[in-house]
Amino acid sequence: MDCLFFGLIQPNIHSQFKIMKHLNSNRIIGLGCAILLVASVAGTLAQVKQGKTRPMQTKHWMKGVLKPHCNALKKGLDAGPSDADAWNELAMHAGLVSETSYILMEDGRCPDDVWANAASKTLREGSAAAIKAIEAKDLVAAKAAFKSLSKACSACHKKHKPKKK
């Protein structure tokens, strides 16, 4: 009986091994794809929080550099610069906002088109227009440019900034 049973299975062992090998290969490929997917999603989320190689977190840049210079720029424009030093101060603030548009695109921080458009188009173009208007001492154009560049903040924050609970 054992020989008969063994004889019935023996011819199928090779084909069964092939089937098992094929199934294991598919499982390994599927598992590998799942791991890559999870890693890429996690990597995208991490890029919003911090660059790939630089240690500073994006939220710290925003709080320590962008927010204070945007606030100072708005406050100075609202008050209206009274002399050359005040115009120069506004130019500095607008310049640092402009530089931020480049930093936000560096080191893998940019996770998607919303971020890219906000940083490299809206913020960059608006801050360049603000610098140009400030250099020309055109307060009306500088205020309009500030209003334009501030749209970058709301577009990006709507998608990427965590909601406060």
pLDDT at 42 (0 to 100):
43
Given a cut of 90, is residue 136 above it in pLDDT? yes
pTM as predicted: 0.70
Name which CATH class applies to 56-160. mainly alpha
Q: How does pLDDT run across 47-77, given as a tens digit for each residue?
A: 468 888 989 998 899 999 999 999 999 999 9
Handedness of CA 117, 43, 49, 157 (dihedral sign): positive
Q: Per-residue b/e over 44-71, b at no fewer than 16 CB within 10 Å?
A: eeebbebbeeeeeebeebbeebbeebbe
Stretch 103-127: mean pLDDT, rounded? 91
Q: Where are the domains of the chain?
A: 56-160
Given a cut of 80, is residue 2 above it in pLDDT? no
